Structure 1
Amino acid sequence: MHTIWKGSISFGLVNIPIKLHSATEDKDIKLRSLHKECHSPIKYEKVCPVCEVEIKNEDIVRAYEYAKGKFVVLEDEDLESLKKKNEDKAVEIIDFVKMQEIDPIYYDRSYYMSPGEGGAKAYSLLRKALQESEKVGLAKIIIRSKEQLAVIRVYENTLVMETIHYPDEVRASGDVPNVPMEEKVTKKELDTAILLIDQLTTEFEAEKYTDDYRNALLDLIESKRTGKEVVTPTEKEKKSNVTDLMAALQASIDRTKPVKPAAKKRTTKAKTKKEA
């Protein structure tokens, strides 16, 4: 597994060198956008709307928009210094709580934790202590320039770090529109609903749940591929150097042709003879 973060976790005087690895992966099928006429992939270019020119990465700076149209520019050096200052610190478990006290709405991403060099014993100690106490650890960590609140727990004999949202990142449920207040429900209706829930209750087996849409889309793509329903981009027509050279030569000749003097009008000559 690819290591995305390397550092240490500590609780009390116990320090554990660890590595983080992504525990999940995005298996969404990514579709490309093509030009309908020639089936060429569409480019998405970074263009300045004022200068009307394409912008390179080295010409882009980051900024915070504190008011409409007003920005504070942040230099890369400032951000790197701030990031370095916090990343150098060992991640400390600040609290231990019961997992049931954390609502699932707070959870974000999962990372497997493996022990670093010399950290196997301390890793095993924390794992065993969490299992015996039936608690999870709360810690703070900076990942990809963002400070995260995280839960450290045991999953199938492996320590897992779950990043969780801060309270101010979870929107208030009271802001959800059209949620009804408590309605009067008859005992018969409630008993019937509970009976239905009981009939559909089973043990959770993750393996039996599949992404039906993704599987159907993969089948569709494969059937089109094997049925030769494929398209290829139309190659951009290359200009011939010979044609360009001939055009340039002809243009040069046309420019250097001597200008013929304008012919004299007959009426002028006739008028001269008559006057003579």
Structure 2
Amino acid sequence: MRAIWKGAVSFGLVNVPVRLFSATQEHDIRFHQVHREDGGRIRMKRVCSACGEEVAWDQLAKGYEAEDGRLVVLTDEDFEQLPLATGREIDVVEFVPTGQVDPMLFGKSYYLEPDARAAKPYALLREALAATDRVAVVKVALRQRESLAVLRVLDKVIMMQTLLWPDEIRAADFPILEEDVELRPQELRMAASLVDSMAADFEPEEFEDDYQQALVKLVEAKLEGAEPAPVEAGEESATEVVDLLSALQASVDRAKASRGEKPEKKAPVKKAAPAKKTAKKAPAKKTAKKTPARKTA
């Protein structure tokens, strides 16, 4: 890895010289825009909309357009005059409990490597954070912009994770959530049972990017001039829940089956006893026709 920033962590009167390394990398395949007919690369030209001429890199500047249409142009010299109080330092502002930082605020992650002469103060800061179960809230200037970040411990390394500023978080405004929803006790019990049946320890190594793997195979097949293998379609998820309780029960059974467990035997539902069929009355026996009484003389 190559360091992207050099500076020092400053807390109190202690300075810890460190180097900053990006802790993550994307595994997406990068594509170029090409001409479908001959595969030629498509080049984008920087053309001025006012004069129609192509503009060189050294002639570019940053412009901001106000709501009323006015435009102000800022040059590199303008940006250099802006104050960056943190300079080349990671300035510790305060130490806060780990659970108080909402994960929604987290941005990019970095590793901090101590300088050869700073191993002891680095270890001291690391052990202090771990012992107190706190993170350090810091300010740092990265790419000519001041950022808010936290320092936290991961195994033996101190990580820095940039944070979004509070005004960059949107509020969740959904009127439907204000409506009262009636939940039956059996539905709550079944939902809790589903959670228990799918409970596990998070092991990120167990998960794979199926789309990325299929894309790599597709590209490799194209490079070899072979026909790509057909991709198996995944199971379609239900789009409509007719009976929530039945759907929860089916979900629990499927989760247990995926773990090799037998689904619980469902208690037989007592059905109303069908009405007793009345015996069909036997057809009345036809009585023999009475012979007419003989008339007496």
TM-score range, shorter chain: 0.7 to 0.9
Quote the Cα distance in structure 1 between the aligned partners of 2:105 and 2:114: 26
* Larger mean Cα displacement after TM superposition, 139-148 or 54-63: 54-63
Q: Is the 8 A contact 2:6 2:88 kept in 1?
A: no
Cα pair distance change 1:215/1:179, threshold 3 Å: farther
* Larger mean Cα displacement after TM superposition, 72-81 or 91-100: 72-81
Amino acid at match of 1:2: R
Quote the Cα distance in structure 2 between the aligned partners of 1:89 and 1:39: 45
The aligned runs of 1:196-275 (5 Å cut-off) are: 196-227=194-225
* Larger mean Cα displacement after TM superposition, 134-143 or 179-188: 179-188
SS of 1:53's equivalent in the other structure is coil
Give CA-to-partner distance per residue, 1:83-130, whole Å, 9 cap, x none: 6x5453532211111121111110000000011241111000000001
Amino acid at match of 2:202: F
Give CA-to-partner distance per residue, 1:38-97, whole Å, 9 cap, x none: 2212112111122112111112111222334312222211212336x5453532211111
SS of 1:67's equivalent in the other structure is coil
- The number of residues matched between the two structures is 227
Cα pair distance change 1:100/1:35, threshold 3 Å: same
State the partner residue of 2:62: 62
The aligned runs of 1:12-27 (5 Å cut-off) are: 12-27=12-27
Cα pair distance change 1:44/1:179, threshold 3 Å: farther
SS of 1:82's equivalent in the other structure is coil
* Larger mean Cα displacement after TM superposition, 91-100 or 68-77: 68-77
**C-alpha RMSD over aligned residues:** 1.8
TM-score (norm 2): 0.72
Quote the Cα distance in structure 2 between the aligned partners of 1:70 and 1:160: 43
The aligned runs of 1:68-147 (5 Å cut-off) are: 68-82=68-82, 85-86=84-85, 88=87, 90-147=89-146
Pair 1:11-2:15 in alignment: no
State the partner residue of 1:255: none
Instruction: Tell me which of 185, 188, 208 is aligned to 1:187.
Output: 185
Q: Is the 8 A contact 2:86 2:139 kept in 1?
A: no
Shift of 1:28: 1.1
State the partner residue of 1:169: 168
Shift of 1:228: 5.6
Shift of 1:178: 5.2
Question: How many percent of aligned residue pairs carry the same amino acid?
Answer: 38
* Larger mean Cα displacement after TM superposition, 206-215 or 36-45: 36-45
Shift of 1:181: 3.3
Shift of 1:6: 0.7
More helix per residue: 1
Higher RCO (Cα < 8 Å, 6 or more apart)? 1
Shift of 1:180: 5.8
TM-score (norm 1): 0.77
Quote the Cα distance in structure 1 between the aligned partners of 2:180 and 2:213: 40
Shift of 1:31: 1.8
State the partner residue of 1:47: 47
State the partner residue of 1:157: 156
Amino acid at match of 1:217: L
Quote the Cα distance in structure 2 between the aligned partners of 1:177 and 1:125: 49
Cα pair distance change 1:4/1:181, threshold 3 Å: farther
SS of 1:72's equivalent in the other structure is strand
Amino acid at match of 1:206: P
SS of 2:190's equivalent in the other structure is helix
Shift of 1:179: 4.6
Cα pair distance change 1:127/1:73, threshold 3 Å: same
Q: Is the 8 A contact 2:105 2:164 kept in 1?
A: yes
